[in-house]
Amino acid sequence: MDLIQKNLLQEIAGLHEVPEGAYNIRANGELQARNTTANIDIVTKSDKSGIDIIIKPGTKNESVHIPVLLSKSGLQEMVYNDFYVGEGADVTIVAGCGIHNGGDQASKHDGLHRFFLEKNARVRYVEKHYGTGDGTGERIMNPQTEMELAQGAYMEMETVQIKGVDSTVRTTRAKLGKDAGLVIHEKIMTHGKQFARTDFAVDMDGEGSSVNLVSRSVARDHSRQEFISVIHGNNRCVGHSECDGIIMEQGSVTATPSLTANHLDASLIHEAAIGKIAGEQLIKLMTLGLTEAEAEEQIINGFLK
């Protein structure tokens, strides 16, 4: 692995070297390294590009890292990864994509991640996207995530994109069974002329299911963001979505929530607040001795922490 790739790996997975546990590192479209464990198997798909990650029932406290690194300008790929999480398993999955584009051609990584959680399985899924490189070529990522949660399953997804991705459309779909729970925390910051769209759609089919979607975003310069959240409550369930956006300079954020209650005991809430940094927040921090720029930095850092 070269220095650029190591840096990308550090940014998206917090890893200095190869991780412990199961992992699959993909670099410039090819398998670079893989490790499986007694409970977690990783198998290359035969019909298309991608892998199957099979986690045995009852697997506890194990992790899977599947970072993707792109450092060759102009590389474009589409990857299909499927996660099968057995009954009662409790695991952490860290995915993410880092693109370094030093050339003038667009680099693009599209991925479809499908999660199948069996009864009472629990997954913490962390996904980070990061772009770097001083080339003029665009860095494009379009991650799609699909989740099916069986009875009592629980999934927590953290998705972070702070820097360097020029264009992203993030599509997330989920179906929740009885007593299944889904929590999604999204953090996103766009600069320059970047564009980011987040598109969530969740069907709460099972009785007692719940979903909580929380998005915090900052749109700077001339960047644009769209936040779409569609929640269907088809049974007795609780759904909440929240979009907090800070706009700076000429940035723009559109939030489009949609709640549909198809059951009398579906309780659905959406909250959205978009605006510039509140003047009183800046003034408060300035009375503590910070300059306006320092205050702004602290507020943004805290907001996206």
Partner 1 sequence: MLELRDICFGVETENAEKEILRNINLQVDERFVALTGPNGGGKSTLAKIIAGILVPTSGKIFLDGEDITGLSVTDRAKRGISYAFQKPVCFKGLTVKDLISLAAGKSISMTEVCDILSEVGLCARDYVNREMNDSLSGGELKRIEIAMVKARGTKLSIFDEPEAGIDLWSFQNLIQVFERMYRDINGTILIISHQERILNIADKVIVIADGQISRQGTRDEILPSLLSSKTCSVLTEKM
Residue 115 dihedral angles phi and psi, to the nearest 5° = -115, 130
- Beta bridge pairs of residue 214: 185, 242
Alpha carbons 179 and 217: distance in angstroms, whole number? 30
Alpha carbons 169 and 110: distance in angstroms, whole number? 9
Nearest to 99 by CA among 4, 210, 235: 4
| Residue ranges in contact with partner 1 by CB under 8 A | 216, 244, 278, 280-281, 283-292, 298-299, 301-305
Least separation in angstroms between residue 289's CB and partner 1 is: 4
CB 203 within 8 Å of CB 232:
yes
Beta-carbon count within 10 A of 169 CB: 16
Alpha carbons 129 and 4: distance in angstroms, whole number? 15
- Identify which of residues 4 and 304 has a Cβ nearer to partner 1 in the complex: 304
The two structure tokens encoding residue 207 = 């009785």
- Identify which of residues 174 and 285 has a Cβ nearer to partner 1 in the complex: 285
- Identify which of residues 85 and 246 has a Cβ nearer to partner 1 in the complex: 246
Least separation in angstroms between residue 274's CB and partner 1 is: 13
Alpha carbons 96 and 69: distance in angstroms, whole number? 9
Q: Crossing angle for the helix pair 292-303 and 279-286, nearest 10 degrees? A: 120
Secondary structure letter of residue 56 according to DSSP: -
Least separation in angstroms between residue 244's CB and partner 1 is: 6
- Identify which of residues 109 and 187 has a Cβ nearer to partner 1 in the complex: 187
Least separation in angstroms between residue 298's CB and partner 1 is: 6
Three-state SS for 220? coil
CA distance to 192, 284, 290, 291, 300, per residue, from 294 (Å): 20, 12, 6, 5, 10
- Identify which of residues 104 and 292 has a Cβ nearer to partner 1 in the complex: 292
Alpha carbons 54 and 124: distance in angstroms, whole number? 15
- Identify which of residues 55 and 299 has a Cβ nearer to partner 1 in the complex: 299
- Identify which of residues 214 and 261 has a Cβ nearer to partner 1 in the complex: 214
Least separation in angstroms between residue 122's CB and partner 1 is: 24
- Identify which of residues 157 and 218 has a Cβ nearer to partner 1 in the complex: 218
Three-state SS for 110? strand
The two structure tokens encoding residue 28 = 């410039």
